[in-house]
Each structure stands twice: as C-alpha cells, then as structure tokens.
Amino acid sequence: MGMRRVAVIGAGMTRFVRRAKETPKELSFEATRMALDSCEMTRDDIDCVVHGTAPDAFDGVHMKAEYLCDGSGGVGKPYTRNYVGGGTGVFAPIQGWYHIASGMFDTCLVVCEEKMSSCQPHPQGAFLTIFDHTTERALGPNLLWIFALEMNRYMQTHGITLEEIAAVSVQNKGNALDHPCAQLGKKTTVKEVLESEVLAWPVHREMVSPTSDGAVALVLASEEVARRATPKPVWIDGVGWTLDTAYWCTRDLYYPRYVETAARMAYDMAGITEPDRQIDIAEPYDPFAYKMLHHMEGLMLCGKGQAPKLVADGVTARHGRLPCCPSGGLLGVGNPIAAAGLMKIAELFWQLRGEAGKRQVPGTPRKGVAQAWGDLMQVGTVVVMGA
C-alpha cells in the first residue's frame, strides 16, 4: 500500500480509580509523562499528538479535547481528537498510526483520558440520549437494558449458561490482581458473581465493569526512529475499524458482525489468515462479561458460540494457549472509557516486550490483537500488534 511501518515504543498509564483528585488535564499529564520517560523522549521529540476521549459530558467540559491538550503534550503541535464512542481507545492508536504510516510525521503521542466521576448522578445519564428520541427514549431504556437484550440473545442462540459467562468475571478480576493500576482486581467465584444483584436480567452486577477515572498514553514512531529509540519496538501490523447501522433493531444481536468486519481489515493488513492459530494473545473488549466471549467470536479467535468452552477449558487463562484479557480487562482494571481501550494496546505492548511483570504470559508471544466496541452496539475497532 506504500505505507510505512509504525511501532509503539513507549507507554504509560495512571491508576484507574473510582474518583481521582487529579483534574482531567493532570491525569493526562501523568500518563503522557510516563510514556515519554519510558522511551527517554521529551515533548520536543514529538511531531504530533492524537487525543482520544469519549463524551464531553463525562468530564463535564465541553470540547474537552481542547481543554486536555495541555496535559497530553499537544501545545503548539498538530493535534486532533478522535471519538468513536467506546471504540475510541483502540481507534486513537489507529489515528496515530496513519499520521506516521502516511509519511507525514515520524513520532506521535497517543493519549486517552476519561474522568467519569465528574458526571453526576451517574455517567449513564449521558448515554440515555443515544437512543432514538421518539421511538425508544420514551420507554426509558439505558445501556444496561440493551446489553441485557444482546446477552440474552447470545445465550439463547448458542445455549450458553450464566455460569459460563460468570467465569469471565472470575478470570478477568483475578488477572487484575497482578495489575498495579487496577481498580477492581479480586479473587472471586462463579457462585459469588451469580449471587450479585441482577441489574437487568441476565446481567448481574459482578458482570459489569465499573465507572473509572484514568489516562493512558503511548508513543508511536516510524521504523527509522523506532529502531534508534529501542531494541524492542512493537509493530502495529494491522488496523481495522467499522461502524454498523444505528437502526440496531435490524441486526441479529447474537453476533457482533461489526467486530468481524474490522478484524478482517486488520488481519488482512497483518497477513493473518488463521487468527485462532496465529494470534498468541488477545485483549478483546470486556465492559460486560459476555462481551469478552462475544468479541472473541467476532475476532474469529474461535467459532460462533465456542468462546465459553475456551474459558471453561483454561485456554484463555494467562497460562493458557490463547490468553484473553491477561491485563484483567475492563472488568478488573477498570473502565475509564477511552483510556480502557488504550490500556489494552499498552498491555499488548508490555506483553510482547516481555515487560508485563507478574502479568507476563509464558513463552514468547509474537502476535497480539486488541479490540474495542461501543455506541449502539455498532462500532468495532481492532489493532494487530507484533513483536
């Protein structure tokens, strides 16, 4: 395609917490400073800045990317914000990627921040208006309800049990115990998950990620700069993104076809023809427990309806054949929307460099895939990375 190779050469993140004292700008600064320090760069070494952040209503600052620009190192630089709902955190590095792949820039800071605790009484309030204002809103739906519809349809189609879905919460919250930035790491059981409050059947409280404050930053570089900067660049091998119809009632909810479309785009670019064999490590988006399974299938890491078996068999465990969410995912590390997606890319970066500490998957993983999702269950964003 005549595009240049792009590598991730540095990463940083704040702790994910329920309510941070730091302002959104300060959160962005801490993550960005850490990412620059990790590759011994200064702001002078940065050609452009990409900021990913979800609705302005969360931080309570209209045009918040402009407000955040100081904290993400963007002053006086070519600076853009991107926002594709929940998919933002994995789209931000894609935007950084094309800035560099195009040949226009050699280095790019990619920063994602969210401070959801500013939003009262609950960030769900901001989501109430994503539904159609005449056909749906009068019925009072919220995001939990529509995910409950999707989860139920997925379970019904394949005969999946609540226990199989609860096992995802157990795995990811357990993995998060080893993440120094995690909000909700804990040792739990399927029984405990199923004994938690039912929010909207079949969604139980312990199957849902929390609201969080936090920021994550990456440094992206062209091949030439990357090879000078580090002996261990992690390459962005493939990128894909897609948006499905907002007439969500015209889709069968059992399968995330928008994830498959985005994944095919990314795999084609990365030369991946058999994802279930060629991908060593995955970070599918898991704001809800069933979503990790749903997205594993959309990413074609297994057949439709097969993901629960992989979890049950330990295949997706950190020491399994195909570790999924070794970070602890959104269920365990937390879910500051855009930052949570970028956390998944940072996790692949650390894992593929062998720098994930207690979270390190065994062997020498070579290929990873991360994915995020959002809006009215309609956006898919996918990045394939290689050591």
Partner 1 sequence: MGLIQKSSSNQELRHYRGNIPVGNLYTAGIAGDRFFVDLRDKGRLLGTRCPSCERTFVPARHFCEECFTRLEEYVPVPSSGTVHSLTAAHVDLDGKPLDPPHVLAFITFEGCAGGLVHRLGGAPGQSFRIGDRVEMVLKDRKKRTGGINDIEHFRPAKGSRR
Instruction: By CB under 8 A, name the one of 138, 198, 249, 312 that touches partner 1.
Output: 138
Binding range to partner 1, per CB under 8 A, among 121-129, 177-185, 235-243, 300-308: 121-129
Both tokens of residue 109? 């800071």
> CA 96, CA 109: separation in Å to the nearest integer?
7
- Nearer of residues 75 and 104 to partner 1, judged by Cβ: 75
Q: In the β-sheet with 367-374, what is the strand arrangement from edge to edge?
A: 79-82, 48-52, 107-115, 213-222, 6-13, 234-243, 379-386, 367-374, 281-283
> CA 247, CA 132: separation in Å to the nearest integer?
9
The reply to whether 128 sits near partner 1 by the rule CB under 8 A is: yes
The reply to whether 75 sits near partner 1 by the rule CB under 8 A is: yes
The reply to whether 129 sits near partner 1 by the rule CB under 8 A is: yes
Identity of the residue numbered 7: A
Both tokens of residue 242? 């897609």
- Nearer of residues 73 and 368 to partner 1, judged by Cβ: 73
Within residues 366-385, the interface with partner 1 by CB under 8 A covers none
Nearest Cα neighbor of 69 from 81, 56, 58 is 81
Within residues 271-300, the interface with partner 1 by CB under 8 A covers none
Binding range to partner 1, per CB under 8 A, among 4-12, 133-141, 217-225, 297-305: 133-141
| Total residues in contact with partner 1, by rule CB under 8 A | 32
The reply to whether 134 sits near partner 1 by the rule CB under 8 A is: yes
Both tokens of residue 95? 């935007």
The reply to whether 142 sits near partner 1 by the rule CB under 8 A is: no
The reply to whether 114 sits near partner 1 by the rule CB under 8 A is: no
Number of neighbours of residue 360 by Cβ within 10 angstroms:
16
Instruction: By CB under 8 A, name the one of 1, 2, 120, 273 that touches partner 1.
Output: 120
The reply to whether 309 sits near partner 1 by the rule CB under 8 A is: no
The reply to whether 246 sits near partner 1 by the rule CB under 8 A is: no
* DSSP letter (8 states) at residue 373: E
Number of neighbours of residue 345 by Cβ within 10 angstroms:
27
Smallest gap from Cβ 133 to partner 1, in A, equals 6
Q: Angle formed by the axes of helices 162-176 and 289-298, to 10°? A: 100
Within residues 44-73, the interface with partner 1 by CB under 8 A covers 57, 60, 70-71, 73
Within residues 29-48, the interface with partner 1 by CB under 8 A covers 29, 32-33, 36, 42-43
Nearest Cα neighbor of 91 from 381, 365, 339, 385 is 381
Query: 216 in helix, strand or coil?
Result: strand
- Nearer of residues 10 and 123 to partner 1, judged by Cβ: 123
The reply to whether 23 sits near partner 1 by the rule CB under 8 A is: yes
Binding range to partner 1, per CB under 8 A, among 125-133, 243-251, 276-284, 338-346: 125-133
Instruction: By CB under 8 A, name the one of 1, 2, 63, 121 that touches partner 1.
Output: 121
Binding range to partner 1, per CB under 8 A, among 5-13, 120-128, 266-274, 277-285: 120-128
Instruction: By CB under 8 A, name the one of 9, 13, 20, 176 that touches partner 1.
Output: 20
Nearest Cα neighbor of 11 from 329, 370, 372, 347 is 347
Sign, CA dihedral 268-312-253-204, equals negative
Farthest-apart Cα atoms in the chain, separation: 58
Smallest gap from Cβ 58 to partner 1, in A, equals 9
CA angle at 108 for the pair 103 and 111, rounded to the nearest 5°: 145
Binding range to partner 1, per CB under 8 A, among 111-119, 313-321, 348-356, 357-365: 111-119
282-317 burial, b for 16+ CB within 10 Å, e for fewer?
bbbbbbbbbbbbbbbbbbbbbeebebbebbeeebbb
- Nearer of residues 29 and 254 to partner 1, judged by Cβ: 29
Chain length of the chain: 387
- Nearer of residues 70 and 355 to partner 1, judged by Cβ: 70
List contacts with partner 1 (CB under 8 A). Answer: 20-23, 25-26, 29, 32-33, 36, 42-43, 57, 60, 70-71, 73, 75, 117-121, 123, 125-126, 128-129, 133-134, 137-138
